[in-house]
Amino acid sequence: MAENKMAEVAALLGVKFDEEFIAYDEYRKKMICKITERGLFFYHGINEAWWQDSGLLSELLTGRAVIVDE
């Protein structure tokens, strides 16, 4: 099995692995996110749950979404 690269992805994006950060995109606005060994997740406040979102990861990597300081 291949090595998990999610800690490297977090470092590439300038965030700490498995710690919360704020991301912003045009449609969803500000989201609480974290990158874990299982991927990128955002917190869905209405359901009070973390949801995995590979689309948001793609948006961050291509610049369509950004990480913001709060």
- Taking only the tens place, the pLDDT of each residue in 21-44 is 999 988 878 999 999 999 999 998
Split at pLDDT 50, 70, 90, the class of 65 is: very high
- Give ∠ CA 16-26-14 in degrees, rounded to 5: 15
pTM metric for this prediction: 0.87
Q: Is the dihedral of CA 32, 24, 51, 56 positive or negative?
A: negative
Please list, in sequence order, all residues whose beta carbon lies within 8 angstroms of the beta carbon of residue 58, skipping any fewer than 6 positions away: 64
Name the average pLDDT for the chain.
92
Closest CA to 33 of 13, 45, 58, 50: 50
CB 33 within 8 A of CB 40: yes
pLDDT in the model for residue 26: 85
